[in-house]
Structures are given as structure tokens and as C-alpha cells.
Amino acid sequence: MMLHNLPNGLESTYESLLQATVSRYPDRVEEIKKLLWCLCVAVWPLSASQLSEILALQPEDTYLDPDAITTDPYDALETIAPLVMIDREVWKYETVKLCHYSLREYLCSSPLRNADHQFHVDQREAHSWLSLLCLQYLTVSLQFDLSNMERKLDPATTDINHFLSYAALCWYYHMDDASGHPGYFARIKPYLDNAVDNAPDTSSWFTRAQDIFRDHNPHHDAPLHSLVCFAIFADLEEVTSYLLSKMTDLDHHFPDGYTVLTAAARWDRPRIVRKLLRMGASIDVPTLEKELTPLHLAAEHASKGAFDILLDAGADPHARSKSLTTPLYRAARSGNVYILTRLKEAGCDVNVRTYDNWTPLHEAVGLGNREAVDLLVQWGADIRATTDDGYVATPDEYL
């Protein structure tokens, strides 16, 4: 509200406020920059408690000292108080945001970059810093003593450890946006090298992140992935390429039953699929539990780019899963007409049955995939086929 009452243009107003802040807190410029970076590039709004923990964590720290965190989290905002506002309406807890959207535009603007302004926010640099902070926080949070943290907890926040959930859920977003920043990859390599893929490791930052991801996304596939498969899901190509270079067996099954190729097919990462096939990954190696091939997964999840590459490279369109589903059956589940058509052209049986006598038509009708139903019937799907439990998937108009 303060800015609306000032007579000068917004840019000069913001500059005056920044300079006044420096004059008042000359020894806290780096702290001010960190706060502005957070407020400009955070994936979602941060609370005062989260920001106070961010300021308490120094680059060389191997644990988070509770005594370094301000007892009143709003004290952390003292230096930038004229530039921010507290939002009590959208989130379940109070969040901090810049006082106006134009302030973010000003801080990230080309004129400030060209002037080498000390408060210019280089977004890639800010994402780089914040992603590294997330990884560091996940690492040091393993040593949190919650009994000592009790007096610091903000009862209004839904986070147990303030910044922990954000770090676990957002590290890869920042890593993606930091890609290509000079020197960045060398700085994250130690975290990649220390994350264990082939066995549980309770000291791993990635294990901690996945536990929290799973709590927030209980029905999502990704929380079960190894780091390399999670990098494929998150579309972190540089990280994926580095981790793949460390693998001695590209057909290795990780604890969740996935291989790197099944993960790339499931999440529709065509560039990774091509790369893996060039590197020698076997095209039809299935997942462990359900025995789904990469083509099954691409068909089920409508991963068109991955599907085309796999089918054209010789993936078996007639492969059977553990429950005897085929890629065409899985495509009926997704309802993708393009993939269904390609599989039909490849000679797939539209009346193929699973172990309990479900057909692609049963699947398409049951999931309400109207276009897929019409195509299957047009191609001769048996509208009177009955499953073992007596289900007949006859579309209404064919009764």
C-alpha cells in the first residue's frame, strides 16, 4: 500500500527503497539479495519461517543450528519490510510476497542487468542457488534435533520443519531452471554421486526427498523411482545423461521394478528413449512386477513421442504383460486414437483377452473413452464378450 501513495514512477520508487535499505543495513546486503532471489523465483510462496531458515543456513554448514534461526521469523524480513507484504488469504499459513508484481519485473529487468546492479536478479543464477540450497537443506535436515527446534516452530505453518517440504518438492524445478548456468553442474555433482540408486540409504538427501514427495503425492509413480528414473520423470536431461554414464547395465531393474527405458517411455521422454536405444538398452525388457514393456507403458500413458520411436525401432506390439495385456489393450485404457491406430496397423488383435477375459473394448467402455470405443467396434471388437466376473462391455447404441 505504501507504493501507491508515492508520487514518482515505480522504477525510481523501487530504486529509492533499495538504496534506503542499503543505507540502513549496509552489512546485510547479501542477506537482502538472498531474500529477493527467493521471492522472485520460488515455485510457490514462502513463509517467514521458511525464509528465516534459509538465511540461517550458510554454504559451509553441515547441520542447521537452531540458534542461528531467529526466534521470531518475521525478524528475518526486517531488511526488506518496505518491499514485501504478508498474504493471509490464499495459503493455509501466512506467506511473504513482493508488494507488487512490477517489483519482480524491475528486479529481473535488462536495465538492471546491464547496469550490473547489485540487486539485479539473474533468474538462472537464483534458481541455481536455490536448488543447491534445497539439496543442502535436505542433507542437513537429516541431523535436525526436533526437540531443540520446538521453540522455533511457527504454529500457523503446516510444515513440520518449515523449509523441508519445499526443499523436497521443489529442488528439481529449480534444478531444471538452473540448467546451463556456468559452473552449476560441477556444484551439484557431489549430491548426485552421493545419492544411492541400487539400495535404500537412510542418510541420502534423495531418500528424504522421496519420503516427503510420497506423503504429498501418495498415488504418484515418481516417489518410488530411483534418482536416475526420477530425473527422467522431471525431464532433467543433463542430470539424466550424467547418471546414465555411470550405469554399467542399462537394463538394470531398480527397486521399484522400472528400468531407465521403461521410465522414459512412461513419462514420454523421446530424446532419452533415442539415447538409450543408441547406448544399447534392450527394447522389450519389462518392469518387474507387472511385466510391462516400454511399449506397454507408452501406450497406456499416451506417450506418443516415445511410442513412435519404440515401435519404429522394433518393439514388440504383441508383447504380453503378467496379466496378459497387450500394448493395444493398454492403449484402450489411455484412449489415444493415434496409438490405437498404429497398433491396429501393426496387426494387433482387437479382441485379445487378459487372464480374466477382459478385452480392449471392456477397458475403453469402462473408462468412458468414447473415440476408442467407436474405433474398436468399427474394427470388429466383440460387443458381447464377457469377462470372468460377468461384465459385458456393450456400448448403449449397440444394444
Which domain does 107 fall in, by range? 1-124+147-152
Summarize pLDDT for 120-162 with one digit per residue, the tens. 999 999 999 999 999 999 988 766 544 444 433 333 433 447 8
Selection from 356, 397, 355, 357 nearest residue 378 by Cα: 397
pLDDT of res. 200: 47
Amino acid identity at 289: E
Residue 7 lies in a domain: yes
Angstrom distance (rounded) from CA 117 to CA 286 = 54
Sequence-separated (6 or more) residues with CB below 8 Å from residue 11: 106
Band of pLDDT at residue 8, cut at 50, 70 and 90: low
Average model confidence (pLDDT) across the chain: 89
Q: If we measure between CA atoms, which residue out of 206, 225, 321 comes closest to residue 267?
A: 225
Please name the residues in contact with 223: beta carbons below 8 A apart, sequence gap of 6 or more. 210, 213, 214, 217
The whole-angstrom separation of Cα 298 and Cα 226 is 19
pLDDT tens column, 90-101: 666 789 999 999
If one counts the domains in the chain, the total is 1
Q: What is the dihedral of CA 103, 49, 236, 292, to 10 degrees?
A: -130
pLDDT digits (tens, 9 = 90+) for 311-357: 999 999 999 999 999 999 999 999 999 999 999 999 999 999 999 99
Give the DSSP H or E segment for 215: helix 205-216
pTM: 0.88
Percentage of the residues of the chain whose pLDDT score is greater than 70:
89
